[in-house]
Structure 1
Amino acid sequence: MPCSHDCVFDIDVKLLVDTSDFRMGTRGATTSFLEDEVFLAFSTYATIVVLKTMLMAPLTAYYRFTRGAFSNEEDVRGKSEEQKKRLLRNHPDVDRVRRCHQNDLENVVPFVLVGLLYSLTGPDAATAITYFRVFAASRLCHTVAYVLPLPQPSRALSWLTGLVVTFCMAYSVLTHKRLL
């Protein structure tokens, strides 16, 4: 005899109850996911690097206005043709900040995705927090080295440090229970 709609409703309610009380099984049944030390640290450091990435847009605008270098026709509307020719141009400082922002997007997004998956594998808290701190510090150093600019290899080393951290976490995720 097929199941009635009440049976389906009972299954849905049970699934809702079971998933609403999610617990991290690898670090103990009493630790709630939202109270988990690793997840809270990840949330903190991910927020820091995402905010830093977001702040690159206003920094680009600041450089555009202070250097008088605009890229779009509508940005110089109302100006004379002579002023438009002078203002519609590239500036090395603006380009440098934009490249730094692009580099953030290329590195912070993978860190956030891989870091979230890594947090869910139940890693050692000290190791995980070290990874998160090192990545955040490397991105802050990368921005300073890029925008000022500092001599190489400062920028390259800070970029490489963050990349290695992300790859280490990815390796840990892929080898966690070897489900491949």
Structure 2
Amino acid sequence: MEEAVYWYAVAAVLLFLKMFAISAYQGFHRIGKMTFKTPEDAAFLGKEPVMEELPQIQRSARAWLNDLENIPIFLCLGLAYILVDASPDSAVWLFMIFTAARYVHTLCYLIGLQPWRTLAYFVGVGCTFAMCVQILAALP
């Protein structure tokens, strides 16, 4: 298997697992505290809906939304990177650093750690811009 394809697949799986973990984290807090904002969810368990989500849910939801702004872009650029046969030596670094930055960003978001959250965000964005440069350089 081509090296860039291999690292792209690894990154995609790790990013999926990270996003799944955020969902599980939300479920853990909702079920653990038996607090549901959605009326049908609360009614299903015989509870009244709460007016506001738990702070842990709010933070994890914002981290999730940030992932939705960044991970699809990475996945699209990664596919383009592979299709134009951009630098395979750089692929491992760009794909894995982006993935690590997203993990750090989420952890920092969940525990409220600045400026590390912002730094992790910009490291990930830097990887996507570097991927753009590599893609354009590989075009004929």
Same fold (TM over 0.5): yes
Larger relative CO (CA 8 A, sep 6+): 1 or 2?
Answer: 2
Q: Secondary structure at the match of 1:84?
A: coil
The 5 A counterparts of 1:8-157 are: 35-77=1-43, 79=46, 84=48, 87-150=50-113, 152-157=114-119
Q: CA deviation at 1:38?
A: 1.2
Query: How many residue pairs end up in the alignment?
Result: 139
8 Å CA contact 1:135–1:162 kept in 2: the answer is: yes
Percent identical: 28
Q: What CA RMSD, in Å, does the superposition of the two structures yield over aligned residues?
A: 1.8
TM-score, reference length from structure 2: 0.88
Write out the 4+ residue segments of structure 1 that deviate beyond 4 Å after TM superposition: none
Letter in 1 for 2:135: V
Q: CA deviation at 1:88?
A: 4.5
Letter in 1 for 2:6: L
Q: CA deviation at 1:65?
A: 2.1
The structure whose Rg is larger is: 1
Structure 2 unaligned segments of length 5 or more: list them.
none
Instruction: Assess, with a 3 A threshold, how the Cα gap between structure 1 residues 115 and 101 changes in structure 2: closer, same or farther.
Output: same
8 Å CA contact 1:73–1:88 kept in 2: the answer is: no
Instruction: Assess, with a 3 A threshold, how the Cα gap between structure 1 residues 68 and 89 changes in structure 2: closer, same or farther.
Output: farther
Q: CA deviation at 1:149?
A: 2.4
8 Å CA contact 1:53–1:105 kept in 2: the answer is: no
1:1-57 CA distance string (max 9 Å, x none) = xxxxxxxxxxxxxxxxxxxxxxxxxxxxxxxxxx11111111111211122112221
Structure 1 unaligned segments of length 5 or more: list them.
1-34
Is residue 169 of structure 1 aligned with residue 122 of structure 2?
no
TM-score, reference length from structure 1: 0.70
